[in-house]
Structure 1
Amino acid sequence: MKLVENKVALVTGASRGIGRAIALRFAQEGAHVAFTYLSSVEKGEALVAELEQYGIKAKGYRSDASDFQAADALVSQVVADFGTLDVLINNAGITKDGLLMRMSEEQWDTVITVNLKSVFNLTKAAIKTMMRAKTGSIINLTSVVGIRGNAGQANYAASKSGIIGFTKSVALELGSRNIRSNAVAPGFIETEMTDALEAKALDEWKQSIPMKRGGQPEEVADACIFLASDLSRYITGQVLQVDGGMLT
């Protein structure tokens, strides 16, 4: 039996990178996958076709996770389309980097809204179904930056640190309902974003990591599968670092 067979999972921000890898991994392990994207309809349609090759139901939704009403409507539509919601993976996020002395209010507000408020929006909407079913797994993508901070990313670090506090609070509130809430904190993961970095900068990053390499999106997806499956049925309120030992 596959690890999340016949479970319904909702992945936000799944059109590329880590989110896309998570959606594919869940399909491979037998889950029916709903996912969101914000801009590229073509990428969304292509991902649906790729997911369906694993014999599961898949559907993409163009939705803004940072919009409270849109998030509530999204979850209602997913439940209507799939019948239930077992797993929520809050992955949507952005960066607007800059030193604090030069950071604008807009840069701060946008990152906090997209990265942190979206987690509140989707989780609040999803737990209604999970509480009725008395089961569920919420997985929030944070970052090692949310644990140790990073120069030039005060807004991003604050949003990701906030996700950790939110995750632990939800675990305490909903544990008695058999709803688990955990976070995954990726380190340096090789995606389309890192492809734009200079080779020298990439090598310096890798040399600072005990395992001497960057992580792959699929390795983050594997952590999410673990936290969604019954293999982690007695684990809640935790932050799982997928960072090659970066913060060891």
Structure 2
Amino acid sequence: MEKTAIVTGASRGIGAAIAQGLAKDGYRVAACYREQKEKAEELCRIVANSGGTAVPFQVDVSDENSVSCLFARVTDVLGPVTILINNAGIAQQKLFSDLSADDWDRMFQINVRGAFLCCRQALPEMIRRKWGRIINISSMWGQVGASCEVHYSAAKAALIGLTKALAQEEGPSGVTVNCVAPGVVETDMMSSFSEDTKKELAQQTPVGRLGRPEDVARAVRFLVSSEADFITGQVLGVNGGFVV
């Protein structure tokens, strides 16, 4: 059965690596972006040059109408969506005492509400087909918490709770729901970190290096494959041993 995958936040970093990996595995990929249109289009050109199928789609995952329109457009262009990768997210470092209500709300609107809206749109077709895969991209900080990232940690923890509960609810319908929790991964989100800080983080990681987007993508590719049929409601840490 040919399968269509939606990957949110696919224009760069972890999302781009996931989109490329799934396309390499033969899936039709909707590479979703909010603002980075040129990067998403370049990604799709790279996929096409490698013989895969990827099409860019603009979406604001925090907006209900935008998400609804996305699924309708993807279905028209690529076919029914049976794989959903909720990767779109934002990060912010701030002392808790400096956080505004707007900071908190924006973090949850994109990182949690976005996943909720996408899951709600994806599930009816998955249930109808008695097959589906949902992967939520959390963070190791959602497992253990991070100083100066309370709202980020709380939002990523919420994704873990969503994953576990939804997996139990949808298991009888043939839909698996899992979570990948990356560690410190070298992406644009780390652009504010100094080289010295990155070296310190690599030294704190037992395997001795920072993660790469491809490390996370390989975990996602496994979880959507037939080899993961009996795995649901789990949190797979891809952190080099930083959190055990």
Match of 2:190 among 180, 194, 203: 194
Equivalent residues, number: 244
Q: Distance in 1 between matches of 2:106 and 2:193?
A: 24
**Superposition pairs of residues 114-193 of structure 1, within 5 angstroms:** 114-193=110-189
Q: Distance in 1 between matches of 2:172 and 2:152?
A: 32
Q: Distance in 1 between matches of 2:13 and 2:221?
A: 16
2:64 match: 68
Match of 2:75 among 79, 91, 96: 79
CA contact (8 A) 1:13 1:38 kept: yes
Q: Distance in 2 between matches of 1:214 and 1:156?
A: 20
* Unaligned runs of at least 5 residues, structure 2: none
C-alpha displacement at 1:198, in angstroms?
1.6
Q: TM-score, normalised by structure 2?
A: 0.97
C-alpha displacement at 1:196, in angstroms?
4.2
C-alpha displacement at 1:195, in angstroms?
4.4
C-alpha displacement at 1:79, in angstroms?
1.4
* Unaligned runs of at least 5 residues, structure 1: none
Q: What code does the residue aligned with 1:66 have? A: S
Identity across the alignment (%): 39
Query: Is 2:175 aligned against 1:210?
Result: no
What do the CA deviations read for 1:90-114 (whole angstroms, capped 9, x no partner)? Answer: 0000013211111111111100111
CA contact (8 A) 1:27 1:54 kept: no
C-alpha displacement at 1:193, in angstroms?
2.9
C-alpha displacement at 1:222, in angstroms?
0.2
RMSD between aligned residues: 1.2
Q: Distance in 1 between matches of 2:214 and 2:42?
A: 19
Q: Per the alignment, in what secondary structure is the counterpart of residue 168 of structure 2?
A: helix
Query: Is 2:106 aligned against 1:110?
Result: yes
Q: TM-score, normalised by structure 1?
A: 0.95
What do the CA deviations read for 1:171-198 (whole angstroms, capped 9, x no partner)? Answer: 0110001000000000011113324422
Query: Is 2:102 aligned against 1:98?
Result: no
**Superposition pairs of residues 9-20 of structure 1, within 5 angstroms:** 9-20=5-16
Q: Per the alignment, in what secondary structure is the counterpart of residue 181 of structure 1?
A: strand
CA contact (8 A) 2:164 2:233 kept: yes
Q: Distance in 1 between matches of 2:127 and 2:157?
A: 26
Q: Distance in 1 between matches of 2:6 and 2:179?
A: 15
1:244 match: 240
